[in-house]
Structure 1
Amino acid sequence: MKPLPGGLFASTVPYYARFRPAYDPRLFALLGRRFSLDGSQRVLDLGAGSGALTLPLASLVREVIAVDPEPAMLAEGRRLAARAGVGGIDWRLGSSDTLLAMDVGPVLLTVMGASFHWTDRVRLLRDLDALIEPEGALVLATCGAQHDDLEPPPWLAVVEQVRRRHLDPERLRGSGPAGYPDVRHQEVLRRSPFSRIEEVHWDRTVSRGVDDVVGLQLSYSFTSPAALGPGRAAFEHDLRQSLNAFRPDGGTFDECVRTEAVIALRPPS
């Protein structure tokens, strides 16, 4: 789990927290009930970014150790936490590769928001087995990913057409270190110490304006300002024109957004 070359994640920082859809509050309510979070626990947020999982969890536990390999993301997380008056967060520069050397200490939960595919999953699960308490769990959370059973909003085809006009096919893949893994996370988990899997999800409708749709694209690594480079202005102009042509009445761009969690626990002894 390393920063992308060229500062791709760093350049998404001004857009990430503002335009990415927030995790559904029902996720945090479920974790609170499921693990009896009462303000006394410690949680690790690995690949914390600007704190989309960190900040809501901080109100439920004693301490969240928020680890990310991108200094700019950590700085943004600190800023957002200070603005919201949220404490109890230990922001640390690091990654899955440095985890065992970071003296994190025992944690009840490790949460990861769409970052598991950036890691050596088998090694990370072995390392987490040494950190997560016996009754604890690993929680893999995503928000806004595409799903076969969710009809994509019609305006998304407009965005994809603009992407194809401005980006090469390899960049559009948005791949991790070796591309998105062929083996699903659940299969890797079933062969790990955390082989007992629970899956939950919640759907809700998110409405956006043109500026929000453009900002959302700039929050992705493959259409980040660094990735677009000198072509950023042309990309934004084309996208705005195309979206306005699609919705000339000035209406909103609605989307059904799913928050999904894979909760992985050790099997009963």
Structure 2
Amino acid sequence: MNIHYDPAELFASTAPYYARYRPGYPPEFFSYLADRFALNGAQTVLDLGCGTGQIAIPLAPHVARVIAVDPEPSMLDEGRRLAAEHGADTIDWRHGDSHHLHELTLPTLDLATMGASFHWTDRDALLAELDTLIAAHGAVVVLSGGAPGEHTPAPWEETITDIRTRYLGPARRAGSSTYTHPKESHAEVLARSPFSHVDTVTWTWHLPRDLDAIVGLQFSYSYFAPAQFDDENIRARFEHDLRTELATQFPHGDFTDIIHTEALIATRP
């Protein structure tokens, strides 16, 4: 099959799945931020690469304003929809990216948060620019699931990988290239930045999922994006094979995930 490489279309096609099936972050993380930085409803936060609001929406009640920035309009549309459902009306949704922050006319920030988006940026350049935007008492907060290989994958991940490889090849394609994890860890890059004091805080939590949720989650990733399949019939066969194989190998239908959340809290020394 011909694999689709239009990055904009790939990420746009993941947006509804991203909004519905991505796990987000535990409530304890937001409580930690509120306590650590004395968030009292007066702060301004930049959520860069906000996706559909997994950070912005739960954080909004703790601060005066969240400026949620993403390069994909479909992600922003889904984020606005979810924010309206949650009554989160203090989020300023903006189209943009890390390379053009200067065009957004941002105010002084108390915090800048990022999830998976950080690995797509020029990390050194971004942190230097954030140094000009974040107040002296502020911080950069980077969230992830930890380093690759740090945690044992769920037993069904091998099945999912086998079927993806059958249809899309072994590489995890993201846009016009393949995804590779940065050689330097986020902590190493932060440690040489203006925000060189780095604390690591982790949470482990359980997220119940059924077959629909585990299949839907796959379509939230760029390398599984519906637009990767240039023929809807092939995409439908892929989903059918994935569902059938998972249901056969895991007939209990319980795909509860153990989620590991790591927060790097980077402040100036």
> Normalised by the shorter chain, which TM-score bucket?
over 0.9
**Residue number among 227, 244, 263 corresponding to 1:241 in the alignment:** 244
CA distance in 1, matches of 2:258, 2:148: 10
Q: Which residue of 2 aligns with 1:79?
A: 81
Deviations 1:84-133, CA, capped at 9 Å, x for gaps: 11111111110011102211110100000111111111110110000011
Helix, strand or coil for the counterpart of 1:169? coil
CA contact (8 A) 1:153 1:254 kept: no
CA distance in 2, matches of 1:262, 1:253: 28
Helix, strand or coil for the counterpart of 2:182? coil
Helix, strand or coil for the counterpart of 1:139? strand
**Residue number among 1, 5, 8 corresponding to 2:7 in the alignment:** 5
- Pair 79,8 (structure 1): closer, same or farther in 2 beyond 3 Å: same
- Pair 178,225 (structure 1): closer, same or farther in 2 beyond 3 Å: closer
Are 1:128 and 2:140 counterparts? no
Deviations 1:132-183, CA, capped at 9 Å, x for gaps: 110100000125x675453322111111111111112233578978843211
**Residue number among 98, 101, 108 corresponding to 2:100 in the alignment:** 98
CA distance in 2, matches of 1:131, 1:177: 32
Q: Which residue of 1 aligns with 2:186?
A: 185
Q: Which amino acid aligns with 2:194?
A: P
Equivalent pairs counted in the alignment come to 263
Measured after TM superposition, the shift of residue 251 of structure 1 is 3.0
**TM-score, normalising length from structure 2?**
0.92
Q: Which amino acid aligns with 1:194?
A: F
CA distance in 1, matches of 2:155, 2:174: 21
Q: Which residue of 2 aligns with 1:15?
A: 17
CA contact (8 A) 1:152 1:255 kept: no
Q: Which runs of 5+ in 2 are unaligned?
A: 1-5
Q: Which residue of 1 aligns with 2:220?
A: 219
Question: Superposition pairs for residues 104-119 of structure 1, below 5 Å?
Answer: 104-119=106-121
Are 1:142 and 2:152 counterparts? no
- Pair 121,93 (structure 1): closer, same or farther in 2 beyond 3 Å: same
CA contact (8 A) 1:118 1:176 kept: no
CA contact (8 A) 2:172 2:179 kept: no
Deviations 1:54-102, CA, capped at 9 Å, x for gaps: 0011000000000110111111111111111111111111001110221
CA contact (8 A) 1:54 1:64 kept: yes
Q: Which residue of 1 aligns with 2:71?
A: 69
- Pair 46,81 (structure 1): closer, same or farther in 2 beyond 3 Å: same
CA contact (8 A) 2:8 2:72 kept: no
CA contact (8 A) 1:146 1:152 kept: no
CA distance in 2, matches of 1:142, 1:57: 17
Q: Which amino acid aligns with 2:128?
A: R
CA distance in 1, matches of 2:175, 2:168: 11
CA distance in 1, matches of 2:132, 2:210: 46
Helix, strand or coil for the counterpart of 1:57? helix
- Pair 177,232 (structure 1): closer, same or farther in 2 beyond 3 Å: closer
Are 1:164 and 2:165 counterparts? yes
CA distance in 2, matches of 1:232, 1:43: 39
CA contact (8 A) 2:174 2:222 kept: no
CA distance in 2, matches of 1:45, 1:175: 25
CA distance in 2, matches of 1:99, 1:6: 19
- Pair 177,234 (structure 1): closer, same or farther in 2 beyond 3 Å: closer
Q: Which residue of 2 aligns with 1:153?
A: 154
**Residue number among 29, 32, 49 corresponding to 1:30 in the alignment:** 32
Question: Superposition pairs for residues 31-46 of structure 1, below 5 Å?
Answer: 31-46=33-48
